[in-house]
Amino acid sequence: MRERVSTRVASYGNPHSNCKGVKVLTHNAVEEFRPGYPRYTALLSAHPSFHNFRRFTRTRLRLLLLKQDEIAVLEESLDKIDSAEECELFLGCRRRDANPARQEILRQLKLSLAEYDSMVDQNHRSLSLPESSQRDVQNLRNWIEGTSCLTRQESAYLEDCDDLMNLSGPADNAITRMESIVEDSLFWIDFAIRRARLTKVPRDGNILILGPWLRSISRSITTWLATLILLVPVIALNSIASSEGRLATIVLSSGILLSSVSLFTKASTIDIFITGAR
């Protein structure tokens, strides 16, 4: 059975799509690019879920530590120069400071601190990006294995799962989870039915792509599930006469609601408490 790459490539080849955050291939399908990096980058550009790259966390932190120590050494040198200064005026008046060693150390500190601050900002941005989904990474591995577009050495970055980041991240974690469930279900439906009615199958047999209707179906299912979670307790309360039963229903429904918010969304702790208070 053919392994799919992804069924979440929204609006693939659809010139009328206005999906935000999705770069749609309109004139050239993935398989129309030459094998190698041209075809691989065409695949990556098809959907944000494929934008997975190494963080190089260990290397970043190593360089940051080295730069930090470099500044610490310069700071110690500045303290020694200040302690050995014989002219008090030089320490109390920058304009009259004629100590060339101190001026040079201060110049180096200014440059090193600027580089350090830049590294901190860059590392903060990179380390704050979401982790890559194991599912999406495995999709890329399947595609590379099926097409042999990249050498093993240059595709080995996909094996370092703990160090992979996604440049965009899922827009809605609940919708993304539901998409995975829907596409898993559809993948096992008879291939002839999917080929005839639901999917666009490129000439490259290693790719299976579902259109923008996948997100619509996922949103509809998620909406109905949320409606059931909210309304079923209300209906149940109308049929329960005892106060103990009503209280147990309220506690149970509140727990289910908050657990759903915690598991299927990116809600913070304060968001969960606010949801419970409402």
Could you give the CA distance from residue 116 to residue 263 in angstroms, rounded to a whole number? Answer: 37
Task: Give Dmax (Cα) for the chain.
Answer: 91
In this predicted structure, what is the pLDDT of residue 94?
A: 76
Choose between 161 and 196: higher pLDDT.
161
The dihedral region occupied by 24, where left means phi > 0, alpha psi between -120 and 50, and beta the remainder, is beta
Token reading at 71:
């500044």
Choose between 219 and 138: higher pLDDT.
138
What one-character-per-residue DSSP string does 54-66 give?
A: E--HHHHHHHHHH
Could you give the CA distance from residue 258 to residue 275 in angstroms, rounded to a whole number? Answer: 7
In this predicted structure, what is the pLDDT of residue 188?
A: 60
Choose between 69 and 24: higher pLDDT.
69
In this predicted structure, what is the pLDDT of residue 30?
A: 82
What one-character-per-residue DSSP string does 110-173 give?
A: HHHHHHHHHHHHHHHHHHHSPBPPHHHHHHHHHHHHHH--S-HHHHGGGG-GGGEEESS--S-H
In this predicted structure, what is the pLDDT of residue 49?
A: 84
pLDDT digits (tens, 9 = 90+) for 66-117: 999 999 999 999 999 888 877 777 777 878 887 888 889 999 999 999 999 9
Q: Label residues 60-92 b or e (16+ Cβ within 10 Å = b).
A: eeeeeeebeeeeeebeebbeebeeeeeeeebee
pLDDT digits (tens, 9 = 90+) for 141-150: 999 998 889 9
Task: With cut-offs at 50, 70 and 90, classify the pLDDT of residue 231.
Answer: confident
User: Taking the complete model, does pTM exceed 0.95, yes or no?
Assistant: no
pLDDT at 225 over 70: yes
Could you give the CA distance from residue 273 to residue 192 in angstroms, rounded to a whole number? Answer: 48
pLDDT at 175 over 60: no
In this predicted structure, what is the pLDDT of residue 184?
A: 60
Amino acid (one-letter) located at 57: T
